[in-house]
Structure 1
Amino acid sequence: MTVQDSQLLWDGPEDAAAVVILAHGAGAPMDSPFQAALAAGLAAQGLRVARFEFSYMARQRAGEGKRPPDREPVLLDRWRAVLEQVRCAYPGVPLVLAGKSMGGRMATLLAAEHPPGAVGVVALGYPFHPAGKPEAAEKRLKALMAQPLPMLIVQGERDALGDRAFVMAQTLPPQIRLHWLPDGDHSFKPRRSSGTTEAANWQAAADVVAEFIRAVTGSSGT
């Protein structure tokens, strides 16, 4: 894959009732095993999925070396540009803003701008706080409180950026739905002794996201 043809990766039927725009997390590209598995799982349920990369990751792919994430305004500018590109390609089709970790947090901030066409938000492993710093959660919680769209957070029970005990101690607004993945960490990977697998949690994530999208768009799926 070259930088030129990596602007968007598409999965799923072109005549889908909704399009999911899927952003990656801070450290993995749009074609990581997680992103690919989730896109395939959603496509199998009749959804169109557009994966994209933030600019720093595209530069890293181009061979400029490992780079840290861009600043928040730059990340949001990229999100806005992709949203407009997809909206123009699918006029009138409901759009769902989705992302893993950092990508999901940026989707939450973008949704607060009431972008045209957006009907819901999905955060896969929402980073409620930096690792090891639950006391620094205020800003990220505030973004959730101001969320104007229906939102789904899919979270591993052992997520180091917001585990079940921490999240359940918060009061989230009613438009936000939580779904817990058994024994999952930030990547949804469970311990071997848990009785479940990473693949099972990834599939469960795709299933619940598809269910959420059907609910917010009023579509029946496949």
Structure 2
Amino acid sequence: MTTINFPSIIENFVEKPKALFIFAHGAGADKSHNFMERFALKLNEKNINVVRFNFPYMDKRLLDGKKYPPNRMPLLEDSYLLLLEKYIKNTSIPLFIGGKSMGGRVAATLSKQLLEHVKGTICIGYPFHPQKKPENLRLAPLQETVLPILILQGDRDALGNKEEIENYALSDLCEVVYFVDGDHDLKPRVKSGYTHQQHLKTAVEQLVRFIHEKS
């Protein structure tokens, strides 16, 4: 039986929070990555508490410097649930879960188990399929959810672009917001007329709007 250590965490908390967002990292970057930190601090400005954490393989990477692949989905789910138990027990404000890419996929996979405790799920750059493998779809979490899910997606994301997504059968509980010319990190090319900073600002605004609507 695999023993899971409690995940290492960063708590970005404010004095009078309106909600708590548990924010999981993607496959290649840890909880302290600039993208994660920028999002967390921007949400703090909107009076939303944020908890960032590492999945087991990422803590192991940081411990010995070796590049381990992500844990299998059941272990990722168990790690997320272990963290959630603490905040479900000790949080009186509305609770939301989600993450960047893989972290959002894990959260979406858990959504159907958490109806009593969680208000909604937020996925930033959902990995609808592996890069260059559009046939290997990961739609089940978005079809089986019992919670509302907000997906913030670049419309040219290599892991699921707008044209592809509009042909998928997703639950009516899923809302997809597209970012013009955005890649997997919502980053547009210069020729689009948009900047990454603009898209990140809009993403935070959409996330806050979703939290207020579902709280």
Shorter-chain TM-score bucket reads over 0.9
- For residues 191 and 31 of structure 1, the distance between their equivalents in structure 2, rounded to whole angstroms, comes to 25
User: For the structure 1 residues 78 and 134, does the alpha-carbon distance in structure 2 shift closer, same or farther, using more than 3 Å as the test?
Assistant: same
User: For the structure 1 residues 11 and 160, does the alpha-carbon distance in structure 2 shift closer, same or farther, using more than 3 Å as the test?
Assistant: same
Match for 1:202 among 186, 197, 200?
Answer: 200
Secondary structure of 1:159 counterpart: coil
* Residue correspondences, number: 210
Is residue 115–residue 147 contact of structure 2 (8 Å, CA) maintained in 1?
A: no
Cα drift, residue 14 of structure 1: 4.4
Question: What do the CA deviations read for 1:53-72 (whole angstroms, capped 9, x no partner)?
Answer: 10110111112411110011
Secondary structure of 1:60 counterpart: helix
1:40 corresponding residue in structure 2: 41
- For residues 41 and 76 of structure 2, the distance between their equivalents in structure 1, rounded to whole angstroms, comes to 25
1:207 aligned partner, one-letter code: E
Is residue 12–residue 44 contact of structure 1 (8 Å, CA) maintained in 2?
A: no
Cα drift, residue 115 of structure 1: 5.6
* Structure 1 runs not aligned, ≥5 long: 218-222
Q: What is the 5 A alignment of 1:1-222?
A: 7-90=8-91, 92-114=92-114, 116-137=116-137, 140-217=138-215
* Structure 2 runs not aligned, ≥5 long: none
Taking structure 1 as the reference length, what is the TM-score of the superposition? 0.90
Moved over 4 A (4+): none
Calculate the aligned-residue CA RMSD, in Å.
1.5
1:73 aligned partner, one-letter code: P
Question: What do the CA deviations read for 1:145-180 (whole angstroms, capped 9, x no partner)?
Answer: 101001100000110000010001123222111111
User: Structure 1 vs Structure 2: percent identity of aligned residues?
Assistant: 36
Cα drift, residue 94 of structure 1: 1.6
Cα drift, residue 23 of structure 1: 0.1
